[in-house]
Amino acid sequence: MKVNGENLSTLAVFPSMMTVPDCFVVGSNKLGQGHGEAKFYITSKKEMYDFYGVPGFRAKCFMLKTDLIAYMLAIKNEYYQPSQEYAKKDIFPQLWDKRMAMISNLEDVIFFFIEDQDQIVGPRGYINSDDRGYQIIRELALPLVSYIYVEKVGTESAPLYYWKLFVDFEAIWERQNGPLVFTYGKQKDLKEPEKKITKKQIEQEQEIRRARDGQGKYRELLLEQCHFCPFTMISDERLLIASHIKPWAASEPEEKTDPYNGYMLSPLYDRLFDRGFITFTPDRHIILSEFISSFTWKQINLKNNAFIKALPMDDKRIKYLRFHHQSVFKGVYSLDEN
């Protein structure tokens, strides 16, 4: 990746997703009543020290302004139609506008330090910081539906740590709709188990889930464009998933059913694409996330920058892929730089 004109090589990727907890975020974003101390539990101490350094470390980190803008655009629907009971839920749309304005005034690269909280006894690893960059993350992130991806870049003698905020679109979906189970042939909504569910409500819920999972009309239209998986060449519709490029939770109503916002993929490749472990370039090459080990990529038989000849590509899909590059893919790839 390039930072301030300097190319920085990736040395390692932090092996765990850092889901943002409620105790970490600022008061307006909280779900509970506590104030929190801004400490971030990230993993076991061993895993933390293997990545950041010896006990007592002070690590230099950075974020990119473009990433923060991409994150806020990706989570805008959650600010405007919250799936959780945030403390200041009623003014979240105004907070989104205010925070976007704040980001617009930031430098292109935001540096900050994090410090080991080695005074805390036990096997769990904690970090904290008073720096502005760290506080910006506390202000923007929403608990349980945001997480942080970290890469170690530069040189071993003078490493930097690249932080990027992501939206957990699957978590938002579950909080909006709740899991369903079948009970004596009838579906029940586990979010409200004591309510009687009408036939109409069941049908509406089923239709929403069919659309979200790539069924119904969206699936039919997508199959007309992509009637087989470009990786496996499987054309049996029963074995294909209608995958969204721009996730359902981030899409506008018309984008949710736009067949150009999708690919028909076999389940493994749907999972890789949906979770941001792969993405595609406009010229049909695949980009692999370093979050997956080279051994696993070898087992899957995927190589970075491989040409996927059968992958559908056009200007409309490239528009959606821009979102996928910025807000879903777990790595560094910019369509504008390629």
State the average pLDDT over residues 71-90. 95
Residues above pLDDT 90, as percent of the chain = 72
Strands 109-116 and 58-64: antiparallel
Strands 109-116 and 159-167: unpaired
pLDDT digits (tens, 9 = 90+) for 251-305: 988 998 899 999 999 999 999 999 999 999 999 999 999 889 899 999 999 999 9
Tokens linked to 281: 């370039």
pLDDT score, position 180:
43
State the average pLDDT over residues 54-78. 96
- The set of residues, in sequence order, having a beta carbon less than 8 Å from that of 75 and lying 6+ positions away, is 142, 145, 146, 167, 250
Q: Which H or E element spans position 139?
A: helix 132-140
State the average pLDDT over residues 304-327. 96
pLDDT score, position 218:
87
pLDDT score, position 175:
83
pLDDT score, position 213:
55
pLDDT score, position 188:
42
**Which residues share a beta bridge with 31?**
none
The rounded mean pLDDT for the chain is 88
- The set of residues, in sequence order, having a beta carbon less than 8 Å from that of 28 and lying 6+ positions away, is 86, 87, 88, 91, 95
pLDDT digits (tens, 9 = 90+) for 93-136: 999 999 999 999 999 999 999 999 999 999 999 999 999 999 99
pLDDT score, position 201:
60
| CB contact at 8 A, 48 and 149 | no
- The set of residues, in sequence order, having a beta carbon less than 8 Å from that of 11 and lying 6+ positions away, is 151, 152, 153, 154, 155, 156, 159
- Whether residue 24 is predicted with pLDDT greater than 50 in this model: the reply is yes
Write the Ramachandran bin of 276: left for phi over 0, alpha for psi from -120 to 50, otherwise beta.
left
- Whether residue 49 is predicted with pLDDT greater than 80 in this model: the reply is yes
State the average pLDDT over residues 78-95. 95
- Whether residue 325 is predicted with pLDDT greater than 60 in this model: the reply is yes
pLDDT score, position 185:
37
pLDDT score, position 4:
77
- Whether residue 217 is predicted with pLDDT greater than 80 in this model: the reply is yes
Q: What letter does residue 105 receive in the DSSP assignment?
A: T
Residues above pLDDT 70, as percent of the chain = 86
pLDDT score, position 306:
97
State the average pLDDT over residues 23-35. 86
